[in-house]
Amino acid sequence: MLEIAKILKPQGIKGEVKAMPLTDVLAVFKSIENVFVKGKIMAIERISIRQGFLYIKFKDINTRNEAELLRNQSIKIDKEILENCKEEDEFLVDDLIGMIIYDEKGCLVGQIVEVINYGSSDIFIIEKEGRQIQVPFVEGVFEKEGESLVANSEKLKEVMI
């Protein structure tokens, strides 16, 4: 199960909720019909995206009081659903954690141990021999090759922290 959104609060009086998406794969919200909330399967009646937020109406949640019980809850789906909605050249953060990165010469750069999103780009925390470096995931630094990433050693040196 992957957490794809967090319910922030009720929206209106007819059982709708406002939620914060936790994925960049927004196409998933157009295709899902059921999600897991509080460990239960909940059917979605309608969903819209406005100003960066999700507005979700669940079937069987028809009042503000019922929607209030969902405040601060996570919305989860099976990982396979998200994988089917992502673009060919995209990775899920789940898949990046633990990935071993090499440069174009085959030299070990390190292993991704964490991915932090600062808004403008993701930051990879890469560990090698007990040392950690931070590298923004920006164009030209990494290229997708199959199911892995290859780092451009020159550009990597320019951007690593």
Any idea where the domains of the chain sit in the sequence? 2-85, 93-159
**Does residue 118 carry a pLDDT above 80?**
no
Q: Are strands 100-103 and 148-151 parallel, antiparallel or unpaired?
A: parallel
140 to each of 50, 106, 132, 152, how far by Cα in Å? Answer: 32, 17, 21, 7
Name the residue with higher pLDDT: 35 or 159.
35
Supply 81's token pair.
């659903």
Superfamily in which the 93-159 domain is placed by CATH: PRC-barrel domain (2.30.30.240)
Average predicted confidence (pLDDT) for the chain: 88
Class of domain 2-85: mainly beta
pLDDT one-digit tens code per residue, 66-111: 999 999 999 999 888 877 777 766 677 777 888 899 989 888 989 9
Has this prediction a pTM greater than 0.75? Answer: no
